[in-house]
Amino acid sequence: MSDVVVVTDSCASLPDAFYDQYGIICVPYYVHIGNKSYRDLVDITRQEFVDHLRTATELPKSANPSSGDYLQAFRTAASRARHIVTICMTAQGSGGYQSASLAKEMAAVELPETDITIVDSRNVSMGYGWMVTESARAALAGATLEDILQLIERMIPVARMLQTADTLRYLYMGGRIGRAKHLVGSLLNIKPIIGMEDGVIVALGQDRSRQSVYRHMVQIITAHLGERAKIKAAIVHAGDEQAAEVLKGLISESFPCDELLTTELSCALTVHTGPGTVGVCYYPSSALQA
């Protein structure tokens, strides 16, 4: 049995099978549709939410988990291991990190023999979903807490998210536009590329077609890591499997991928990106080496 359990939240957008496969505990975010509240990936599926959003006249809202939600997750994790590593979405884009930190203080009284570490990934989606996955894999392989925290430290500076959509309206309306705000008024037939730097959304480019955007993404990855760098990558989408397959093919052709998977954005993230969003979250395979 591993001495470390990994806890994360639903915005990591992991493939559903990973939670059971790697023993990851997921704390759901919330989406509010009208006067009803749904636990992300528990009370509503990704496809159900995308279908709703395509015809919605009022934009749903998202909310981060409470400290009580995290405390319950810590209770579950404490029954399995002495050390808990909780990897959260960027603290600059959500209150999840603060909720987890408060729950850690509460757990210090209730679970005094349990060691809890809270990590601000400074990333979103599979940008930190990869940190969650690799940490959980390492834990199952017998890695120590120190080993896992060092792994995360290596991944944080190099894990990146690149994403495009037909509109930035959802990010703008949801208040998550960050430093890409200047693009909003100019995007009629322009496809934006957004990313994240130091936990804040930034504009990285724009093109007039999806194919041009995908090629631009390859150029950005190449500029970041070098020509045909060895990577692990996740294609992430919101209700657009066809676009995801096109981007996946281009990434596969352009880089030797040690692992290349496809997953869907969580409902709580799709609130802010909108249907049809597609992107790639990646990091260099060398980050796995101490």
Residue 215 confidence (pLDDT): 96
Q: What is the pLDDT of residues 197-226, one digit of tens each?
A: 889 889 898 888 889 999 999 999 999 999
The whole-model pTM stands at 0.92
What are the structural domains, with CATH classification, of the chain?
4-28+64-155 (3.40.50.10170), 160-288 (3.30.1180.10)
Quick one: pLDDT at residue 248?
98
First-to-last C-alpha distance (Å) of the chain: 23
pLDDT at 259: 98
CB-based contact 243:165 (threshold 8 Å)? no
- For residue 1, the model assigns a pLDDT of 59
- Tokens in use for 272? 């802010």
- Backbone φ and ψ for 23, nearest 5 degrees, come out as 70, 30
pLDDT, averaged across the chain: 91
Integer Cα distance of 228 and 259 in angstroms: 14
Single-letter code of the amino acid located at 219: Q
* Cβ neighbourhood burial of 220 (10 Å; 0-12, 13-18, 19+): middle
Query: What pLDDT sits at residue 182?
Result: 46
3-state secondary structure 75-86: HHHHCCCCEEEE
pLDDT of residue 206: 83
Nearest to 124 by CA among 155, 101, 91, 172: 91
Report pLDDT for 178. Answer: 46
Distances (CA, A) of 244 to 2, 7, 26, 58, 108: 35, 27, 24, 27, 43
Q: Which residue has the higher pLDDT, 2 or 11?
A: 11
Phi and psi at residue 233, in whole multiples of 5°? -145, 150
Count CA atoms closer than 13 A to 108's CA, side-chain side: 7
**Residue the block writes with tokens 């991928």:** 257
Q: Is the pLDDT of residue 190 over 80?
A: no
Q: How many CA atoms lie within 13 A of 197 on its CB side?
A: 8
pLDDT, tens only, 98-133: 999 999 999 999 999 999 999 999 999 999 999 999
For residue range 142-187, what is the model confidence (pLDDT) as tens digits? 999 999 999 999 999 999 999 998 665 665 555 544 444 444 444 4
Q: Radius of gyration (Cα) for the chain, nearest Å?
A: 18
Q: How would DSSP label each residue in the chain?
A: --SEEEEEEGGG---HHHHHHHT-EEE--EEEETTEEEEBTTTB-HHHHHHHHHH-SS--EEEPPPHHHHHHHHHHHHTT-SEEEEEES-TTT-SHHHHHHHHHHHHHHH-TT-EEEEEE-S--THHHHHHHHHHHHHHHTT--HHHHHHHHHHHTTT-EEEEE-S-SHHHHHTT--GGGGGGGGG-SS-EEEEEEETTEEEEEEEESSHHHHHHHHHHHHHHHH-TT--EEEEEEESS-HHHHHHHHHHHHHHS-EEEEEEEE--HHHHHHH-TT-EEEEEEEGGGG--
What pLDDT, in 10s, does the model give residues 269-281? 999 888 889 999 9
Q: pLDDT digit string (tens) for 46-78? A: 999 999 988 888 889 999 999 999 999 999 999
